[in-house]
Copies of this chain bind each other. A is one copy, B any other.
């Protein structure tokens, strides 16, 4: 993923390597700096993603674990651990789905909603501003376009994620 001498298809292979390495580095820094930004509230980037998902229209009345996992593109088992910790902190609750005894609906508690609206969002907005300094609206649109395109490719490589993600309506 780093140095990969161009032996396959010329310059483009070198660019691919560089691109993936950058994506890898960006992801590491996203988690590091994002978690750092919210450390006063004891929230990690994964917890941020979960809390954010729960404020989303369509999820406000409770979200199934499988649907959230598909939406966030993590495994159900991984999500279970993140949910347990957030539940222990009192930010969310799990209730059995009346319509399906296997399913649990995850909902924000009042405490969780207060954390999100009152504490997290201002910090997140500042963080975005710092992390995207020098990015025009056009730059952001372009970058989203490329990430979306790459995501579609990833989902072709992993059809499971694709089908589950579609069901999660994203």
Residues of A near any B CB (own CB < 8 A): 1-4, 7-9, 11-13, 15-30, 32-34, 36-37, 45, 48-49, 52-53, 55-57, 71-74, 121, 124-125, 127-135, 137, 139-144, 146-151, 153-158, 161
Which of B3, B155, B156 meets A52, CB within 8 Å? Answer: B3
Task: Give me 16 A-to-B residue pairs in the complex whose CB atoms sit less than 8 angstroms apart, sorted by A's number.
Answer: A1-B49, A1-B124, A3-B53, A3-B55, A4-B55, A4-B125, A17-B52, A18-B144, A19-B140, A20-B128, A22-B147, A23-B26, A24-B30, A26-B150, A33-B154, A37-B157
Closest to A22 in B: B147
Number of copies: 2
Question: 7 closest A-B pairs (Cβ-Cβ)?
Answer: A27-B27, A2-B52, A3-B56, A29-B154, A22-B147, A16-B128, A15-B140
Q: Would you call B147 and A12 a contact (CB within 8 A)? A: no
Main secondary structure of the interface of A (DSSP, over half): helix
Q: Would you call B52 and A151 a contact (CB within 8 A)? A: no
Set of chain B residues within 8 Å of A21, measured between Cβ atoms: 49, 52
